[in-house]
Amino acid sequence: MPQDFAHRTRATAAGRPHESLKQLSILSSLWQVLVKLSMMKVVYLPIVVGTFAFFSMLVVSSIRVDASVQLTHEEWLQPEAHDLLKLENTVKKVLVRSGGSAISSLKNLGFSFSETMAMQAAAKKVHSLAHIQVGHAFTREDGDGVIDVYYELNAAQRLHLNHYKQAWHASLEQIAVSSRTVYVQAKIEDSLFLDASKAGLDDRTTMNLVDVFAWDIDFARDLRKGDQFQVLYEEDYNDKGKVIGSTIIAAEFVNQGRIYHAIRHQLSSGKEDYYALNGKSLRKAYLKSPVKYSRISSRFTSARKHPVLGYTRAHKGVDYAARSGTPIYALGDGRIAFAGWKGGYGRLIEIRHGNRDHRTRYGHMRKFARGIHKGVHVKQGQVIGYVGMSGLATGPHLHFEFRVRGRAVNPLRVKHAPAKPVPKAEMAAYLEHANMLQQTLDSETQKWGWG
């Protein structure tokens, strides 16, 4: 392992819309209205200025972070937000959507239909654009009278479409891949993704961090201001310096004063996974939450007034408010026991888990994921469907239930049994590896101190 890691310094935060900008624009329109009113009757000016000052205080105070509420920033985490990433002024990138085509992706990059046809014809000689994959990116770079379009085939190869002399030219290019080890630490002041980004962590690695700790920390409701993390990861980048892959090697997350560790370790069987310092697996029988980056809008209660039906009845599950289309994950391995329409639940999925007594239910879905139907085996963390508002729902949310022997229990109170630890015979080797990585993290902490 190299001794000198790349240390991310405070980078400028990516130019994403922030809630406070919205509030500032409200202020400015309020000001304009008040100015117009004051022009009609000048004598009212003191009242106008006073009113504006009062509202300013209200709005500004609401911008501040409330330490008692969850800090996840849903806005940025929606699939739509990741669809079109504007990298620089002249570089545009779109990801191929499910059900999307090369033509629709290229149109999203600003090309006309006839141009997309010309590009498709040029590409045919090296790689047919009829064969593209969901989640892969098309990138457009505009230069001096030249347009470059790239389609990533895999981490090492891409299709290059180049426009010059009024024609499209296609070629396959190798992407030279190198890697480096990076250390980043951050303290949460605003939201996980904002503070991680400020500390120099890319969104991909932040998402990996969320995945690694998803069994212990519910990022939708456990995160607090003052939480902090440090992470050591390996970053693969191409010849243009663009990061194309990231793997967390070791991480430490301090959540509400509790310290969680994750060490990536390869067993002699070749299987790689994340373990705690004592060799226990970080994977539990169940995820702590079936949706990432959402907020709980209604908890498990024995009685509450139903928002649609009006009368009071028990709420036998937990509601997660999230934007329509947000992916829903299977809480644990199991078999689909039901996938269809069920009264007020709307589009419902029920999973019977490895522990036969346990079932989970996911209601109000907009649609099911491809290949999800009764009898199908699903793995923990697999996307089974998407948040919607089918059935009796006032807005898009996931109604989630955990049932033990047919009775709904509070999902937030279910005990999570861990997966297999490092085998005894390999424990000594693991502990040595884990200690080495933990010492590295500790020495970095001392060097840099907590942000």
Q: From the CB of residue 431, how many other CB atoms can be counted at a distance below 10 Å?
A: 15
Residue 253 or 320: the one with the smaller Cβ distance to Zn ion is: 320
What is the distance between the alpha carbons of residues 150 and 92, in angstroms, rounded to a whole number?
10
What is the distance between the alpha carbons of residues 358 and 416, in angstroms, rounded to a whole number?
12
Tell me, rounded to whole angstroms, the distance of Cα 18 from its chain centroid: 17
Name the CA dihedral angle for 209, 212, 80, 327, rounded to a multiple of 10 degrees. Answer: -160
CB of 54: closest distance to Zn ion in angstroms? 39
Residue 317 or 332: the one with the smaller Cβ distance to Zn ion is: 317
CB of 303: closest distance to Zn ion in angstroms? 14
CB of 306: closest distance to Zn ion in angstroms? 9
Q: Tell me the DSSP string of 33-44.
A: HHHHHHHH-GGG
CB of 316: closest distance to Zn ion in angstroms? 8
Residue 319 or 350: the one with the smaller Cβ distance to Zn ion is: 319
Residue 103 or 392: the one with the smaller Cβ distance to Zn ion is: 392
Q: Among the residues of 101-148, which ranges form H helices? A: 102-108, 113-123
CB of 319: closest distance to Zn ion in angstroms? 4
Residue 6 or 309: the one with the smaller Cβ distance to Zn ion is: 309
Give residue number: closest CB to Zn ion. Answer: 399
Assigned token pair, 218: 């519910």
What is the pairing mode between strands 84-86 and 91-95? antiparallel
Residue 319 or 333: the one with the smaller Cβ distance to Zn ion is: 319
- Both ends of the chain: CA-CA distance in Å? 25
CB of 297: closest distance to Zn ion in angstroms? 8
3-class SS of residue 30: helix
What is the distance between the alpha carbons of residues 120 and 126, in angstroms, rounded to a whole number?
10
Binding positions for Zn ion, rule: CB under 5 A:
319, 399
CB of 253: closest distance to Zn ion in angstroms? 30
Of 120, 118, 129, which Cα lies nearest the Cα of 166?
118
Residue 127 or 316: the one with the smaller Cβ distance to Zn ion is: 316
What is the distance between the alpha carbons of residues 390 and 367, in angstroms, rounded to a whole number?
9
